[in-house]
Amino acid sequence: MAIPSIFFFALFLLQHHLAFGRVDLNANFSTNDQNASWLSSSQEFAFGFRPINNTNLFLLAIWFDKIPDKTIVWNADMSNPAVPSGSRVQLTQSGLNLTNPQGQSLWTTELQQDVFYAEMRDDGNFVLASSNSSYLWQSFNNPTDTLLPSQTLDMNSKLFSRLSPTNYTKGRFELYFDNGNLSLAQIGWPSESLYTKYFDISTSSNQSASQLRFNSSVIGGQRAIGLSSSDLDVSRYYYRATLDYYGVFSLYSHPRGSNDDQIWSNVGYVPDNICNAIYSDMGSGSCGYNSYCSWDNSTKRPTCMCPEGYSWVDSNDKFGGCQPAFSFGCGADDARSRENPEKVYEMKPLPNVNFPLGDYERLNNYTRDECEKSCLYDCNCAVVISNAAKDCWKKRLPLSNGRIDLMEGLTTTLLKIRVQPLKKKDRVQPALLGSLIGSLVIIALLAATVVSIILLKPYKVARRVSSFVETNMHSFTYQALKEATHGFSEDLGRGSFGIVYKGTLNSITKTTVVAVKRLDRIAPEREREFRNELNAIGRTCHRNLVKLIGFCDEGVHRLLVYEFMSNGALADILFRQPKPVWNLRVRFALGIARGLLYLHEECETPTIHCDIKPQNILIDEHFMPKISDFGLAKLLYSNKSRTHTMIRGTRGYVAPEWFKSVPVTAKVDVYSYGVMLLEIICCRRSLEMDRDEMEEGQAILIDWVYDCYMEGRIDVLVENDKEAIADMGRLKKWVMIAIWCIQENPETRPSMKNVMQMLEGLIEVPSPPFPSSFSSKVHGSQPWT
């Protein structure tokens, strides 16, 4: 008889231990309590109140408690989730009851049976259990926008995206079951009417789906978004699958452990490119109305932009759409602008942007001029699209589903904008002017006071820094940058020596989107790196260099604040399908050469970049290339143009002299530029090992190019790129320039100045020699010395 009693005792202990994540009846807390949460026994998940950024409101939610940003995976009541400070949640016999400070009920779980206890489980499920431990209610059965491993979405359940990163109200996208398919669609917000779906998540075989189980081998959420279950490593990573507020269903992973530099990475998502996927007459698309959308492959999310003459409806919500900053002249008192529209409006080309929907007229046999005019004289017309076949599509507001379309080339998008300044009667009346000036003075005084208070703290830091750098850069506190990046929550990728995060700086007059590079800690050489980078970029100012806005040098924290480049890195544009059109590539190559020339010869402190490659070239919203990441820059001081240094740079782009004991000069950048110029011409990487269709001898780009050049087969380098082939004169010349740049002997390479002159056709391009003839000096005419 002794054995069973020991057994029962052990069972009792086990149950007692389990009770750690358990919550007893009548337990309660309010938003004001110290520990406003109930933890799971592993302490990985918590149920309780989370404050909502920049408000005095709270959310009743479940979150990953060991992750520094406390990522929320569930919240109560998607129709009205924000509750005031002082609200309270209580576990009663009839379930959870959320009440406001006045004691009125805001949300409850409505249950038929009595609740006995609740439990925050280690898998992230919060459950209400009956006396026999069966679950009466589970957060897993009432999902919001996120699924966790082992969670199941049933045929009658849905996921709704949230409205914005910080607004947890039900948003504009829905994931639901449709006749055995799992589908994504926009909804007629705030109702639940479904618009044309934009994606079906394919289920295995011809079996129809009735469940989405995160982890299942039958219809796995992770398989649907491009991973097999063996790819999930739950011992080392947390996972979640979230319907993002911009309509993408993404699988994210986050390393376990408490290193606060870790972040969520997107490891799989559908659809491929949300900007192109949504195509529905109703609804605005991923970005709001009147904006256009660009998929950023490095951050795996869309970027939204306003066309010229339009501004954000809400400058804090870049997915909320744009509005024209002028009137189109259809109103009753707009007679004057209708009389002479050509003086009032202008049709501006919007390169690489397409608005595929919203046509209200299609005119045949209209030249581009006639098409423009037709729009100018029509107050309903906002945009026209004209093509070589003389079709003219007229579009009205609101424009929807606008997107970047690099393949577009045979069609032209023309946007109507207002050029004439406002008429007299629209101007501010003199009587008003007086009081306006008065209030402006007061505002200016107030602003000056605020600014001086804000600057008081960073001033100390700034003064110390100014001993080694004299610039007009702004010095930020760590706290300010932490807030600007929402606690370093949105990473844009990794640069040399640190992760780059997206952030926004709000000043009295405007909101600026920035990229904040947080340099890794520890190594002392980073210190020098920081100062180098600050010194090098702080003094530069050129439209082909990324602008440094400011820095933070506080305690152990070293951060750099740059302007944000909405089109990501050149590498993302260059190596994806469809490839960017030839004209755009020409523009990239010229812009980068100008930036390098400036760095080498024209700026106050000549600088060698040392790591020129497509990942370090960023593309702004107007498709202007900008050189970034001066973290490896080796400064060239006035009388010292050669310099020894340790090996820097990236394989495939580094000049051969890095591996020899010869001094390194600005010619290393010329080499890297040459490699990159070939990549820009051919739209392929300098090293390509695993392409099936590749013939022998093509793996190393520079070797293949030289062979083709010698055999006079330049056209194969650009495959079937008609535009490039039509520009054969330039194409051939540029291939020759690139071969000059990749000469093994640095002295044989041209300077960036010569490269620029050759690219622009100011000097002839002689026939280049075989690149790796290090010993043999080139004889004969060489345009540079």
Ligand X SMILES: *[C@@H]1O[C@H](CO)[C@@H](O)[C@H](O)[C@H]1NC(C)=O
Nearest distance, CB of residue 307 and ligand X, angstroms: 24
Nearest distance, CB of residue 325 and ligand X, angstroms: 23
Nearest distance, CB of residue 247 and ligand X, angstroms: 17
Give the other-Cβ count within 10 Å of 136's Cβ. Answer: 18
299 binds ligand X (CB under 6 A): no
Rg of the chain, C-alpha, whole Å: 30
Binding string, residues 194-223; x marks residues near ligand X by CB under 6 A: ------------------------------
55 binds ligand X (CB under 6 A): yes
28 binds ligand X (CB under 6 A): no
Q: Measuring CA to CA, how many Å separate 247 from each of 153, 161, 199, 222, 319? A: 18, 7, 10, 17, 11
Give whichever of 75 and 745 is closer to ligand X, judged by the CB atom.
Answer: 75
Nearest to 90 by CA among 103, 75, 73: 103
Alpha carbon 257 to chain centroid, angstroms = 26
Nearest distance, CB of residue 120 and ligand X, angstroms: 25
Give whichever of 58 and 295 is closer to ligand X, judged by the CB atom.
Answer: 58
Per CB under 6 A, the segment of 50-58, 253-261, 308-316, 318-326 that binds ligand X is 50-58
- Alpha carbon distance 22, 448 (integer Å): 54
Nearest distance, CB of residue 288 and ligand X, angstroms: 12
- Alpha carbon distance 22, 18 (integer Å): 7
Per CB under 6 A, the segment of 162-170, 478-486, 600-608, 645-653 that binds ligand X is 162-170
DSSP code of residue 406: T
Catalytic residue status for 244: no
Nearest distance, CB of residue 168 and ligand X, angstroms: 8
Q: Which two tokens stand for residue 192?
A: 């639940």
Q: Measuring CA to CA, how many Å separate 456 from each of 195, 450, 452, 476, 549? A: 53, 10, 6, 11, 19
* Contact with ligand X (CB under 6 A) among 28, 94, 108, 169: 169
Give the interface size with ligand X as a residue count (CB under 6 A). Answer: 7
Residues 79-138 that bind ligand X (CB under 6 A): 82
- Alpha carbon distance 321, 308 (integer Å): 13
Give whichever of 86 and 409 is closer to ligand X, judged by the CB atom.
Answer: 86
Nearest distance, CB of residue 256 and ligand X, angstroms: 31
Query: At how many degrees (to 10) do helices 728-741 and 752-759 cross?
Result: 170
635 binds ligand X (CB under 6 A): no
Per CB under 6 A, the segment of 4-12, 49-57, 153-161, 246-254 that binds ligand X is 49-57
Q: 């290193």: which residue's tokens?
A: 259
Nearest to 553 by CA among 493, 606, 480, 499: 480
Give whichever of 98 and 153 is closer to ligand X, judged by the CB atom.
Answer: 98
Give whichever of 506 and 645 is closer to ligand X, judged by the CB atom.
Answer: 506
Nearest distance, CB of residue 82 and ligand X, angstroms: 4
In the bound state, the residue with its beta carbon closest to ligand X is 167
Per CB under 6 A, the segment of 52-60, 370-378, 494-502, 600-608 that binds ligand X is 52-60
Give yes or no for a contact between 61 and 72, defined as CB atoms under 8 angstroms apart: yes
Give whichever of 192 and 525 is closer to ligand X, judged by the CB atom.
Answer: 192
Nearest distance, CB of residue 84 and ligand X, angstroms: 11
DSSP code of residue 423: P
Instruction: Give the DSSP per-residue string, 131-173.
Output: TTS-EEEEGGGS-SSEE-TT-EEETT--EEEEEETTEEEEEEE
477 binds ligand X (CB under 6 A): no
Q: Find the catalytic residue in 145, 553, 611, 629.
A: 611
Nearest to 81 by CA among 91, 92, 69, 72: 72
Nearest to 106 by CA among 60, 55, 63, 51: 60
- Alpha carbon distance 554, 556 (integer Å): 6
* Contact with ligand X (CB under 6 A) among 39, 57, 590, 603: 57
Q: Which two tokens stand for residue 61?
A: 């939610």
Give whichever of 59 and 565 is closer to ligand X, judged by the CB atom.
Answer: 59
Nearest distance, CB of residue 303 and ligand X, angstroms: 22
* Contact with ligand X (CB under 6 A) among 46, 159, 163, 185: 163
Give yes or no for a contact between 160 and 243, defined as CB atoms under 8 angstroms apart: yes
Per CB under 6 A, the segment of 10-18, 27-35, 51-59, 593-601 that binds ligand X is 51-59
Per CB under 6 A, the segment of 163-171, 278-286, 319-327, 505-513 that binds ligand X is 163-171
52 binds ligand X (CB under 6 A): yes
* Contact with ligand X (CB under 6 A) among 167, 420, 650, 772: 167
Give whichever of 72 and 375 is closer to ligand X, judged by the CB atom.
Answer: 72
Q: Which two tokens stand for residue 689?
A: 């090992």
Give whichever of 52 and 700 is closer to ligand X, judged by the CB atom.
Answer: 52
Instruction: Give the DSSP per-residue string, 345-392.
Output: EEEEE-TTEE--S-EEEEESS--HHHHHHHHHT-TT--EEEEETT--E
Binding string, residues 303-342; x marks residues near ligand X by CB under 6 A: ----------------------------------------
Give whichever of 55 and 202 is closer to ligand X, judged by the CB atom.
Answer: 55
Nearest distance, CB of residue 167 and ligand X, angstroms: 4
Q: Which region holds residue 77: left if phi is over 0, alpha if psi is between -120 and 50, else beta?
A: left
- Alpha carbon distance 503, 491 (integer Å): 9
Give whichever of 163 and 569 is closer to ligand X, judged by the CB atom.
Answer: 163
Nearest to 684 by CA among 656, 705, 666, 663: 705
Residues within the interface to ligand X (CB under 6 A): 52, 55, 57, 82, 163, 167, 169
Residues annotated catalytic, as ranges: 611
